[in-house]
């Protein structure tokens, strides 16, 4: 009997198996941490709980302000990732009978847009960090 | 009624096998890494634990980790800090459920959206590193977390595009159906996609040459600096489980998975062999290449990997339709 499609496993029960595996994983992690807390010593000292900074006392706080230079990449990434998600449903049907060359031309239009986008970002110097 | 009991029994068996696979195969890869690196660098590696060539070293490590004190720094964001290792680890377990090991029913559960599901779930794993990097309240951890986030921008897109190319070639997103339809000539056809997928996978796993987020010689161990004991061990296990999953996926998507001589009976063996061979390549790369800088990876991804992945999409589309 195969799980998924045949032999009494439906759409929802297939995903419920995924859910059960997740629960099994959570149980594994919980049991491991419980066993760890039974086996391991717990003798906290102020020095031990200090933030590590190469053996000297930490200077300032750990959540320091930093200039995130790659934020332009983040914009690019979000735009392109949303585009890429549309590829998946299309990928399953584009060669189906009745589509053929039309979808192929559409694909080149789509890829063309992405490529022009990257080329534009490249010309604008966005793709060079620092 | 009997068939319901049968169904539950089968599901339980499958889940236990998957959990066993998840806990054992990463250790095999770890042991292979010890030994392969030792031989490539002309040294012995661990030889003592267990007697024969140090085979029990990783088990000894595990026992040691389980007995060590779990330290949560006083300044850390306690709950997020403690949850992070589980968030890093569990996605790799859940993703395994849809990867077919052999023909027919040798898969945890055959989802129609398998490929999409795997990519989505794998993407969650990196959250654990980001959580750990932020919650540690440590400058090195924060730098590591920021580097991880930067890396995310670089690898995710080429990975999605090259995986979509396989979906186009097979006309389905079910991993089992993709392997079913695989022919030997897909190897040259999807070669560029395979390269892009594997390289972006390495960047996702923060493996050398893309290990800037952990870079032990620069920022201690990045997001894992403050972790001790079992929580640190879970991050390590997540890394090796990630290697196993990446190699499994690469062999299933691009190398034909269980296809090989006698695949009707020995299919699973072919999948495992291909996976271990790829895991060896992952280790080999660690020994061979120096670490890149974050901006070099970024440039490599946007000016090489993404254009290559788009070219692969075009090639796949043209060959499939014409």
Domain ranges, ordered by start, for chain A: 1-65, 66-130
| Helix, strand or coil, per DSSP, at residue B211 | coil
List the Cα angle B138/B209/B63 in 5-degree steps.
Answer: 60
Do A118 and B302 count as a contact with CB atoms less than 8 A apart?
yes
Do A4 and B137 count as a contact with CB atoms less than 8 A apart?
no
Asked if residues B84 and B132 have their Cβ atoms less than 8 Å apart, the reply is yes
Confidence of residue B92 (pLDDT cuts 50, 70, 90): very high
A102 at interface of B, judged by CB pairs closer than 8 A:
no
Q: What is the mean pLDDT of residues B18-37?
A: 90
State residue B91's pLDDT score.
Answer: 93
State residue B294's pLDDT score.
Answer: 82
CA B128 centroid distance within chain: 14
CA atoms within 13 A on the CB side of B205: 25
Give B298-310 pLDDT, tens digit per residue: 888 888 998 899 8
State residue A9's pLDDT score.
Answer: 64
Question: How far apart, in whole angstroms, are the C-alpha atoms of residue B147 and residue B84?
Answer: 17
Confidence of residue A2 (pLDDT cuts 50, 70, 90): very low
**Is residue A7 pLDDT above 60, yes or no?**
no
A41 at interface of B, judged by CB pairs closer than 8 A:
yes
CB atoms within 10 A of CB B314: 16
Confidence of residue A130 (pLDDT cuts 50, 70, 90): low
**Is residue B18 pLDDT above 70, yes or no?**
yes
**What is the sign of the dihedral through the CA atoms of B164, B165, B170 and B176?**
negative
The pLDDT > 90 percentage for chain B reads: 25
**Is residue A50 pLDDT above 50, yes or no?**
yes
State residue A119's pLDDT score.
Answer: 87
Give B137-166 pLDDT, tens digit per residue: 888 888 888 888 888 888 888 999 999 999
CA distance B118 to chain A (A): 12
State residue B234's pLDDT score.
Answer: 92
Confidence of residue A54 (pLDDT cuts 50, 70, 90): confident
**Is residue B105 pLDDT above 80, yes or no?**
no
Nearest-CB residue to A42 (from B69, B74, B225):
B69
**Is residue A21 pLDDT above 80, yes or no?**
yes
CA distance B167 to chain A (A): 6
Q: Which residues of A touch B90 (CB under 8 A)?
A: 22, 25-26, 29
State residue A4's pLDDT score.
Answer: 45
CA A16 centroid distance within chain: 22
Do B314 and A46 count as a contact with CB atoms less than 8 A apart?
no
CA distances from B59 to A63, B62, B204, B237, B266 (A): 36, 5, 26, 12, 29
Nearest-CB residue to B137 (from A32, A39, A62):
A62
Q: Which of A57, A61, A91, A123 to mutate to test the interface with B (most CBs of B within 10 A)?
A: A91
Do B6 and A1 count as a contact with CB atoms less than 8 A apart?
yes
A38 at interface of B, judged by CB pairs closer than 8 A:
no
Asked if residues B45 and B34 have their Cβ atoms less than 8 Å apart, the reply is yes
Q: What is the mean pLDDT of residues A36-60?
A: 82
Nearest-CB residue to B230 (from A33, A73, A122):
A33
State residue B193's pLDDT score.
Answer: 92
Do A73 and B15 count as a contact with CB atoms less than 8 A apart?
no
């Amino acid at each position: 009997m195969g799980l998924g499609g045949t032999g009494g496993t439906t759409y929802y029960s297939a995903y419920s198996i995924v859910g059960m595996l997740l629960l099994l994983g959570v149980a594994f992690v919980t049991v491991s941490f419980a066993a760890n807390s039974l086996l391991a010593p717990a003798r906290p000292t102020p020095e031990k709980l200090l933030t590590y900074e190469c053996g000297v006392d930490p200077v300032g706080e750990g959540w320091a302000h930093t200039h995130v230079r790659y934020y332009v990449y983040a914009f690019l990434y979000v735009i392109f990732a949303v585009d890429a998600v549309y590829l998946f449903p299309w990928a399953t049907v584009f060669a189906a009978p009745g589509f053929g060359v039309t979808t192929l031309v559409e694909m080149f239009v789509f890829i063309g847009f992405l490529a022009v986008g990257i080329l534009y970002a490249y010309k604008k110097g966005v793709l060079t960090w620092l | 009624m009997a068939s319901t009991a049968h169904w539950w029994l089968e599901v339980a068996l499958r889940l236990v096998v998957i959990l066993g696979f998840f806990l054992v195969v990463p250790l095999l890869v770890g042991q292979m890494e010890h030994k392969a690196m030792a031989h490539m660098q002309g040294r012995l590696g661990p030889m003592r634990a267990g007697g024969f060539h140090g085979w029990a070293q990783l088990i000894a490590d595990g026992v040691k980790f389980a007995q060590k004190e779990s330290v949560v720094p006083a300044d850390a964001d306690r709950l997020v800090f403690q949850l992070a290792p589980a968030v890093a680890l569990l996605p790799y377990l859940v993703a395994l459920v849809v990867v077919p090991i052999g023909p027919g029913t040798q898969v945890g559960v055959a989802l129609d959206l398998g490929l999409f599901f795997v990519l989505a779930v794998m993407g969650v794993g990196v959250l654990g590193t980001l959580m750990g990097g932020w919650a540690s309240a440590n400058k090195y951890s924060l730098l590591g977390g920021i580097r991880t986030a930067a890396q995310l921008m670089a690898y995710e897109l080429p990975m999605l595009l090259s995986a979509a190319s396989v979906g186009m070639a097979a006309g389905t997103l079910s991993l089992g159906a993709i392997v079913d339809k695989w022919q030997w000539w897909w190897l040259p056809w999807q070669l560029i996609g395979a390269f892009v997928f594997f390289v972006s996978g390495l960047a996702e796993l923060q493996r050398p040459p893309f290990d800037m987020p952990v870079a032990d010689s620069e920022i201690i161990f990045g997001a894992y600096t403050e972790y001790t004991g079992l929580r640190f061990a879970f991050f390590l296990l997540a890394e090796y489980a990630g290697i196993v999953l990446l190699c499994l996926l690469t062999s299933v998507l691009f190398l034909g998975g269980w296809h090989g001589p006698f695949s009707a009976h020995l299919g699973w063996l072919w999948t495992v062999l291909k996976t271990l061979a790829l895991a060896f390549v992952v280790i080999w790369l660690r020994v061979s290449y120096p670490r890149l800088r974050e901006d070099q990876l970024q440039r490599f991804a946007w000016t090489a990997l993404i254009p290559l992945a788009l070219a692969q999409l075009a090639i796949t589309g043209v060959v499939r339709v014409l």
